[in-house]
Amino acid sequence: MLEGMRRISQHWIGRAILTLLFGLLIFSFVIWGIGDMFRGFVSDKVAEVGGQSISAQQFQNSLQSTMYRIQTRTRRSLTSAQARELGIDRQVLANLIADAALDERANQLGLAISETSIVDAVRSDPSLQDATGHFSPERFDQALRDSGLSERGFFVAQARTYMRQQIESPLIDGFEAPKPLVDMLARVEAQTRAIDYLMLPLSAAGDIPAPAEDALKSYFEERKAEYRAPEYRALDILLVDPTTLANPADVSDDDAKADYDKLRDTRFTTPERRKLQQIVFPDQASADEAEAKIKAGANFDDIVKARNLTLGDVDLGETTMAAMFDKTTADAAFALPDGGVSEVIKGQFGPAIVRVAGVTPGVVKSFDEVEDTLKKEISADRVAGQVQTIHDKIEDARVSGKTLVEAAKSVGIEARSIPAVDAQGRDDQGAALNLPDQAELLAAAYASDVGVDDAPLQTANRGWLWFDVNKVDPARDRTFAEVKDKVEKQWRAEAVAKALATKADDMAKQIEGGATVQSLAASAGVEAKSAADLHRNGGGDLAASVLNAVFTVPAGGAGSAATPVGRVVFKVTADATPPTKFDDPAVKGLAAQLTEGLQVSIIAQYVSALERELGVKIHDNVLQSATGS
């Protein structure tokens, strides 16, 4: 039709006819209106920030990318419903709104970045560099896969990121955590205490009379929600994978030994590890001079001090030979005895001297230790080809109307029946059921219903997992009679805890009045103990609840804290807080973490104010459609 219109438009008569036709068309729009053409149109904008908009597709892409990264990191599947429960969708939207606000401000400021600058920035991005500090094409390809973008799309996204950084960087440029704040937190972390203490066992609570029936019922009614039964589902499940079909008894010893010989060096050998220290010299002359001093009687530590270094500065940590980047240094370091010091090594980072500070010998597992594992794996590999055949037979049986149990029997396999399982994988008595591919199975089973013929789940172990939902028992309130034993047990536990707390508080008051922990321990028939060098985050064998209480009371004070096996009564006998050494690596690390946290907070406050200034509008109907809620 278009070609015909082009042809007739070459003549003035044809042009006149077209003019008349288009005139009539325009006139009809005037008469009838064009509003109806647009009344059915629905915006695909999830949110608007100033002049920027976030489309439903953009939101969905970002949400899927985020879910993919979480699944890759945790190695567990994540459904859209689970993502909503965890608030991932809201976090993704918040991040997109923040980015849009910064993009709008970048436009207002007229910021731009050249393609050459973008390429240079990408090539110098530490996350895209290898161990040598050079641009890594492999890491770049992985970044593309993770982002789900084309190469062009990736560079466009990076350009936006770098322009946002142009706004953010001046906000925090040169900002560091205030020194008094670092000092305060460092002192809190470095503070140590010592205590004398005793442990009151649960039996020290004495006899607890049984509660009256009415009192127990009242206790139950006050906590009825705690005893509520969750939804339970009865399932039949069938797992078919190489492991379930394997028969290790069919594998001969010779076959297993042959595999062992192939895999011994790579799989069953734990390589030797060495704790190494290395001094790198600025030139060969300095290195030769240090080597001469060592041969004349100086030790490695003397050279470290002479170069104004600390042992922390030269520590390479514990490593294997294969893990060392510099192979020349690795060969020399692993040829030395424990405690040995090398001659000058011409390493890739300059002339160096290495000391072996410790050796953890390698270990090789014997054939007897791994025989069972090898036979299972060999048998599983042999039957892997049968998995798809059995899958097809089971599917054919189900199509013919057989239940999962019947389909399993038709191929000589037994399905597993589960009378009751909740969404967390526990039975109706609260015991864990240890289900195959549990997270994926339960997510699918709780998204299904009775009588639904669900497709099997593909497992990570090259297999298939079928399930049938046979029954659904909705969540409900349990009756007192059903949980009476549990109620009484909880009531008694609380009564014991209260009695012990009263007794322990009385002892703490006696200690503050002049009594000693030793005398109180003797009267209670328990052992008095001491613990020193306690920190807020650990020390000794004391529970976290005890450490928290120890650092809550004033120096020299007394207190108590509950533990799973009783209650600890203590007195603080010593308190020390060393002065902060700002050049200490641990303090530097603390300052860096604090600085980073404060910088993030500053940027967040700026973005929040920017969003208020620009205005944020969220279209809930589009958002709900995009999230499937």
The residue whose two tokens read 């190695």 is 75
The predicted structure's pLDDT at residue 629: 65
pLDDT block averages, 10 residues each, the chain of length 629: 42 46 44 39 79 90 84 70 85 92 91 82 79 75 73 80 88 92 92 95 92 94 92 95 88 91 87 92 92 92 89 86 87 94 88 94 92 89 87 93 93 94 92 91 91 89 91 94 94 95 96 95 94 85 92 95 95 94 89 91 93 92 80
The predicted structure's pLDDT at residue 41: 41
Note the pTM of the prediction, 2 decimals. Answer: 0.56
Can you tell me the distance from the alpha carbon of 509 to that of 514, in angstroms, rounded to the nearest whole number?
Answer: 9
Which CATH class name applies to 232-246+381-473? alpha beta
Q: How many of the other CB atoms lie within 10 Å of CB of 278? A: 19
Q: How many of the other CB atoms lie within 10 Å of CB of 504? A: 23
Give me the helices (H) in 361-457, please: 367-399, 404-410, 438-447
Domain 45-174+606-627: give its CATH superfamily: Porin chaperone SurA, peptide-binding domain (1.10.4030.10)
CA geometry: angle at 416 spanning 414 and 422, to 5°?
A: 170
The predicted structure's pLDDT at residue 131: 66
Can you tell me the distance from the alpha carbon of 521 to that of 44, in angstroms, rounded to the nearest whole number?
Answer: 72
**Of 451, 571, 554, 447, nearest in space to 504 by CA:** 571
Domain ranges, ordered by start, for the chain = 2-39, 45-174+606-627, 192-227+483-576, 232-246+381-473, 269-364
Just give the CATH number of 269-364: 3.10.50.40
**Of 474, 262, 509, nearest in space to 378 by CA:** 262
Contact 59, 46 (CB under 8 A): yes
The predicted structure's pLDDT at residue 2: 36
Domains 232-246+381-473 and 269-364 alike in fold: yes
CA geometry: angle at 311 spanning 309 and 312, to 5°?
A: 95
What is the Rg, in whole angstroms, of the alpha carbon atoms belonging to the chain? 36
Q: Which phi and psi angles does 280 have, rounded to 5°?
A: -100, 130
The predicted structure's pLDDT at residue 204: 93
Name the pairing type of β-strands 345-347 and 232-240: unpaired
Can you tell me the distance from the alpha carbon of 25 to that of 23, in angstroms, rounded to the nearest whole number?
Answer: 5
Sheet of 528-534: strand order equals 528-534, 192-201, 566-576, 558-563
In the structure encoding, which two tokens stand for residue 226, read together? 């705690």
The distance from CA 401 to its chain's CA centroid, rounded to whole angstroms, is 43
Can you tell me the distance from the alpha carbon of 493 to that of 559, in angstroms, rounded to the nearest whole number?
Answer: 21
